[in-house]
Every structure is written in C-alpha cells, then in structure tokens.
C-alpha cells in the first residue's frame, strides 16, 4: 500500500495557505487512499527564536486543527514529531550523508538566514540542518509520497537525493519519495504582498488569513487585498499577481477554474466579496469542530499518544536497518 507522510510546523497559527496547499488534500484524498501519517513537526519550530509556552500551545492547536479539518485517527496516524525519537536518530545519520553545501543551497534557508542577519539576530544551526531532519521525517517511514505546498518541494527533492545516496553507499534501506502538489492552492500568496507566499510566521498578519480568524476578520482581510489599478478582472499570475491570488483562492473553494472565474467578474470588488464569502463558508465547519475539540484537550492528547505509538512501530525497523547499514554496532 502507498505510504504518505506530511507535516505542519507549530511556528504560528495555521493559515489558509496551509489549508488549501496541504491539509485539505490530506483530509479529502490522502487519508482515504493510502497509509498516511501526518505530523506536527514541533522540532522544526525550534529553528528560529521561539517561546517555549507558545510552541507547546501551538502544537496542541495544530493537532486539534488537523482533526477539526477532518483527519480521522481511524484512517490515518496523527502525532507529534518529538514524541518519536526515530526522527532525531535518523537525522544524525543523514547529516553524515548530506553535505554542508547542499544544505546552504536551500532557498528557504537563504531567505530566512538573510532576514535574521539583516535584523541583527543570530541564525540557529538547526535552521541550516532542518531540511535534513525533514528528510529523516520522510525516509524513516519509507513514505512513497509527500503532499506539500510548492515551497517545500526543494526539501522533498533533498530527501530524494539523500535516499538515493544512502542506498547506493550503504544498501537499499530507503524508499525514494516523491512530492505531490495540489492542482490548485499549491502557493497561496499574502493578500497584502502578493509577491510573497502567505506564511504562518510572517511578520505582518494583515495579509494572512488564519483558520481561526473570526469571519468578520477574514472578510476584512480579503476586502483589503492588494490588487492593481488596471480596470477589469483577468487571470495573469505574473502581471496581475493580487487578482490571480484571489482567483486561485476562489477556485480552490469553488472547484471552478481561475480563468473561467475571471471572465465572470467585471471588477475586483465583486471578486473580493465572493472570495471572502467562499473562504468564510469553507472554514465554517472546521471552526465549529475546533471549538468542540479545544474543550476536550484530553482527546487530542490521546490521539497524539496513540499516533506516536503507531509511528514508532513503523519507523523503528527502518531506522534500525539504517544504523546497521551505515556501520554502527548493533546493541547486544
């Protein structure tokens, strides 16, 4: 059976980009057609300055949002990365397979390290090495597919390269995974800055729709989206990025092609109004379920506990095999 792995980092409140680019597909498609594991990748949230209490809170909230979005623990495994020691165990080995130069080539590293330096902040070593930990997240489960938004494609590519290299040098331990992207919503852009992706750790919340924003707040953010001065509506990702983003969001919510939607609008205001309404409606059931789950943290913790037990069972044989293959003495 196909195996799928993906994750979400508790580095901020979960956004519409996370939902349309990744989570919705995990819920609607992936958990039904494969053995699927979905992980709150909490160790990844420690790669930049962080507040311990906030990471703890956001980790539980991310898990509860995944369940509220419709992940069903009877169909898939939902767990926290730090609860399964195999991730860190394998990351140690993969750091001996990856090169420092290839870690530095990652666009996300260059961008975040650059921003930290410009702000006079230090860069954690883990920011450089986290794509290797992410490779361990994926390879430890011998995942065939990794459904992510397109910003993560370069990291999945690194995981592929490390799998191939390890297998060639030390023996066939890993499955070489492939990335799967959403047909729509693979890159939702910031509503105020349509040249940059909507990110949960963005400095400004004005252009970011969070899944738990109140409906009025969502409507206000969408209505204030930056478009352009040209009259009319057309779908042109390069030339009219703000409009294209709205059309893609509406497309992801309605199932209609952005091109077709563009033809049915005479002006940006009407498009914004319909997009705001579509987003509010798409998120309404999720918000309601999340309210129920947050009243029952014991349930969410139980799901994570059972998920971790299952994940450990799946990863341990592969990670043990990697330890033997690379030349480490088996424990007696």
Return residues touching ligand ATP (CB under 6 A): 8-9, 11-12, 15, 17-18, 21-22, 148-149, 151-152, 185-188, 197-201
Q: Which residue has the tokens 């009219």?
A: 240
Helix (H, G, I), strand (E, B) or coil at 79: strand
- Rounded CA-CA distance 165/97 in Å is 7
CA angle, residues 139, 152, 96, in degrees to nearest 5: 40
The pair of three-digit structure tokens given for residue 195, joined into one six-digit string: 């040249």
- Rounded CA-CA distance 305/308 in Å is 5
DSSP 231: S
Residue 131 C-beta: closest distance to ligand ATP, Å: 11
Return the closest-CA partner of residue 9 out of 75, 65, 69.
65
Cβ atoms of 25 and 148 closer than 8 Å: no
Comparison of 86 and 248: residue with beta carbon closer to ligand ATP: 248
Residue 266 C-beta: closest distance to ligand ATP, Å: 28
| CA distances in angstroms from 200 to 19, 97, 321, listed in the order given | 11, 31, 36
Residue 52 C-beta: closest distance to ligand ATP, Å: 17
Comparison of 165 and 237: residue with beta carbon closer to ligand ATP: 237
DSSP 192: S
Which residue spans within 240-305 are E strands per DSSP?
Answer: none
Residue 320 C-beta: closest distance to ligand ATP, Å: 28
Comparison of 45 and 94: residue with beta carbon closer to ligand ATP: 45
Comparison of 9 and 272: residue with beta carbon closer to ligand ATP: 9
Residue nearest to ligand ATP according to CB distances in the complex: 21
Residue 220 C-beta: closest distance to ligand ATP, Å: 19
Which region, left, alpha or beta, applies to residue 234 given φ > 0 means left and ψ of -120 to 50 means alpha? beta
Comparison of 55 and 223: residue with beta carbon closer to ligand ATP: 55
Residue 1 C-beta: closest distance to ligand ATP, Å: 22
Burial status of residue 77 (CB atoms within 10 A of its CB: 0-12, 13-18, 19 or more): buried
Comparison of 96 and 203: residue with beta carbon closer to ligand ATP: 203
| CA distances in angstroms from 139 to 75, 125, 173, listed in the order given | 21, 22, 9
The pair of three-digit structure tokens given for residue 124, joined into one six-digit string: 């954690």
Comparison of 93 and 132: residue with beta carbon closer to ligand ATP: 132
Residue 324 C-beta: closest distance to ligand ATP, Å: 32
Strand arrangement of the beta sheet that strand 145-147 belongs to: 76-80, 35-40, 3-8, 145-147, 178-180
Comparison of 159 and 319: residue with beta carbon closer to ligand ATP: 159
Q: Which residue has the tokens 């494609």?
A: 153
Residue 329 C-beta: closest distance to ligand ATP, Å: 37
């Amino acid at each position: 059976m196909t195996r799928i792995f993906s994750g979400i980092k508790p580095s901020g409140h979960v956004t519409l980009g996370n939902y349309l680019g990744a989570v919705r597909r995990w819920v609607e498609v992936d958990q039904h057609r494969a053995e699927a594991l979905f992980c709150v990748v909490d160790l990844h949230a420690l790669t930049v300055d962080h507040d311990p209490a906030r990471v703890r809170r956001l980790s539980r909230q991310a898990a509860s949002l995944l369940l509220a979005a419709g992940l069903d623990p009877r169909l898939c495994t939902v767990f926290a990365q730090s609860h399964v020691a195999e991730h860190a165990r394998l990351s140690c080995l993969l750091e001996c397979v990856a090169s420092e130069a290839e870690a530095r080539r990652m666009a996300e590293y260059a961008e975040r390290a650059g921003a930290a330096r410009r702000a006079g902040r230090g860069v954690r070593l883990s920011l450089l090495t986290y794509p290797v930990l992410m490779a361990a997240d994926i390879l430890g489960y011998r995942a065939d597919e990794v459904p992510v938004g397109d910003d993560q494609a370069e990291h999945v590519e690194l995981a592929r390269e490390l799998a191939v290299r390890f297998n060639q040098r030390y023996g066939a331990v890993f499955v070489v995974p492939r990335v799967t992207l959403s047909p729509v919503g693979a890159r939702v852009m910031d509503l105020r800055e349509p040249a940059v992706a909507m990110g949960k750790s963005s400095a400004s919340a004005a252009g970011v729709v969070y899944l738990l924003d109140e409906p009025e707040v969502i409507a206000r953010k969408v209505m204030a989206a930056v478009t352009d001065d040209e009259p009319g509506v057309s779908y042109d990702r390069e030339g009219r990025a703000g409009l294209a983003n709205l059309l893609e969001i509406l497309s992801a919510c309605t199932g209609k092609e952005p091109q077709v939607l563009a033809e049915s609008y005479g002006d940006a205001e009407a498009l914004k109004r319909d997009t705001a309404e579509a987003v509010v409606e798409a998120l309404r059931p999720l918000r309601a379920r999340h309210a129920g789950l947050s009243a029952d943290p014991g349930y969410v913790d139980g799901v994570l506990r059972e998920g971790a037990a299952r994940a450990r069972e799946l990863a341990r044989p592969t990670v043990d095999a990697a330890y033997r293959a690379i030349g480490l003495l088996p424990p007696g």
